[in-house]
Amino acid sequence: MKKFEEKTLTSETIYQGKIIDLQIDEVELPNGKTSKRELIKHPGAVAVIALTPEGRIVMVEQYRKALEKSIVEIPAGKLEPGEEPVKTAARELEEETGYGCENLRHLISFYTSPGFADELVHLYIAENIARIEDARGPDEDEFVDLIEVTVEEALNLIKEKKIYDAKTAYAVQYLQLQQFYK
């Protein structure tokens, strides 16, 4: 859909980083006037609902410098160039949790902050996960702790404001409503 399209008049890349780029576009609005748009370009990411054979969701606690605190999230990570999202999902699951899964299934994808960023998160489900011997560990600048909770416990953590990461809450709610989505 291109309704209310904003035509690009100029586009300037201010910063090219390891994960994000910052781009400033001058646009022509539908009424002919002009405006500026501050845009973050992101390679996209995956997130994984990983379920143990007992139906517990595996989550990771990690420090997020952007927030200056550690929070609880489902395993996730950014796409690497040329890597298929399902491969990224399997890799991130192994590296962050030590678990593997024979069959990762794509559930849904969503934009996290369309007002300023193009980050698209692909959500996967990994059922009947099992420990991988000699699993690859997390990236060298990544430190995580594992937590395993039931769906009901996870919903309570959202309600009690202990989970406040959008993709994690989205995933837990999706799981609770999965009969509807089938």
The annotation status of 61 as a binding-site residue, yes or no, is no
What is the closest distance, in whole angstroms, from the C-beta atom of residue 15 to its own copies in the complex? 5
What is the closest distance, in whole angstroms, from the C-beta atom of residue 24 to its own copies in the complex? 8
Structure token digits, residue 136: 């690859």
CA distance 157 to 178: 19
> Of 108 and 130, which CB lies nearer to its own copies in the complex structure?
108
Residues in CB range of 104: below 8 A, 6 or more apart: 48, 86, 89, 90, 93, 124, 125, 126
> Of 61 and 102, which CB lies nearer to its own copies in the complex structure?
61
The annotation status of 142 as a binding-site residue, yes or no, is yes
The annotation status of 126 as a binding-site residue, yes or no, is no
What is the closest distance, in whole angstroms, from the C-beta atom of residue 40 to its own copies in the complex? 6
Q: Contact, 126 vs 50, CB < 8 A?
A: yes
> Of 38 and 84, which CB lies nearer to its own copies in the complex structure?
38
Element (H, E) at 116: none
> Of 16 and 128, which CB lies nearer to its own copies in the complex structure?
16
Residues in CB range of 75: below 8 A, 6 or more apart: 47, 48, 50, 58, 59, 60, 92, 93, 96, 97
Residues classed as catalytic: 140
Element (H, E) at 150: none
What is the closest distance, in whole angstroms, from the C-beta atom of residue 130 to its own copies in the complex? 26
The annotation status of 148 as a binding-site residue, yes or no, is no
Q: Listing from the earlier edge strand, what are the strands of the sheet with 34-41?
A: 7-16, 21-28, 34-41
Helices 166-176/151-159 angle, 10° precision: 130
Q: Residues comprising the binding site?
A: 76, 92, 96, 142
Q: Residues comprising the binding site for Mg(2+)?
A: 76, 92, 96, 142
